[in-house]
Amino acid sequence: MTFIGRIQMSFPRTALAAGLALAGLGGSILVAQQRLGHNDAPEGVPMKTTYDVSSLKYTVAELKNIDLVAGYYRDCVQSHHPELVYNFLARGEVNHNPNDPGTPDGLMAMLGFRFPKPEPLHKELEPLPNLLLAKDNMVLLMYDQQEKDPADPSKAYTYSRFEMVRLQNGKIQEHWDVGDRRGNAQAWKIEWCSKTGRADCPKP
């Protein structure tokens, strides 16, 4: 498996990320390992790893999977264009987050309720994941977040939330994420879904 730190790529709308040197096409993946705390990269690159980045290579298929997953989150989730969902998701895709509708149509309807005004398609995926793992037909994205320490509110701690998908035949087939069951993360979704009469609603 390939573990990537702070990714030096912008996921533009062109074929495969411009900041990613295509490993399967003779290049190597340039990454910036944020947590190393050094800054010895060439101008224009905020940081670089202390190890041989030429060893960090994805297959061509894995790069395509990364591109498709980035496109889904950029276009459908962040730009709020549900009409594009089946460019990325299989029609039978299963969403395993227990807080969300379990089908693509249900998820897009929920996002459309929350973000009723589509935005112009974003050029980049923002924020970038802090950690990206791609292996065969799986892609995992992890994002750092901070919360106040319940034992000492004057302090904060960092944790990671994740998005993981399984792809097959060029489409996302399954999705998993944190699935926070706290009431404030779930109540409005259950209320919205029950009012719509959908059959794919999350369960209390």
> Measured between alpha carbons, how far is 202 from 98 in angstroms, rounded to an integer?
6
The answer to whether residues 42 and 32 touch, using CB atoms and an 8 Å cutoff, is: no
The pLDDT of residue 128: 82
CA contacts within 13 A on the Cβ side of 92 = 2
Does 32 score more than 80 pLDDT? Answer: no
pLDDT value for 99: 83
104-118 pLDDT per residue, tens: 999 999 999 999 999
Angle between helical axes of 104-114 and 183-196 (0-180°, round to 10): 110
Contact 19, 31 (CB under 8 A): no
Residue 170: band (very low, low, confident or very high) from pLDDT cuts 50, 70, 90: very high
| CATH number of this structure's domain 60-196 | 3.10.450.50
Question: Would you state the pLDDT for residue 21?
Answer: 29
What residue spans define the domains of the chain?
60-196
Q: List pLDDT tens digits, range 33-49.
A: 333 333 333 344 333 44
- Better pLDDT: 84 or 144: 84
Q: Which one-letter DSSP state was computed for residue 197?
A: T
Q: What is the pLDDT of residue 182?
A: 60
User: What percent of the chain stands above pLDDT 70?
Assistant: 69
Question: Tens of pLDDT along 58-102?
Answer: 888 998 999 999 999 999 999 999 999 999 999 999 999 888 898
How far, in Å, CA of 137 to CA of 46, rounded? 30
For residue 113 the two structure tokens come to 């309720």
Average pLDDT, the chain: 75
12-21, 53-62, 82-91, 184-193: which is most confident: 82-91
> What backbone phi and psi angles, to 5 degrees, belong to 115?
-125, 80
Q: What integer pLDDT is reported at residue 179 of this predicted model?
A: 67
pLDDT at 19 over 60: no
- First vs last C-alpha separation in the chain: 36
pLDDT above 60: residue 176: yes
pLDDT band at 55 (very low <50, low <70, confident <90, very high): low
Q: Is the pLDDT of residue 171 over 90?
A: yes
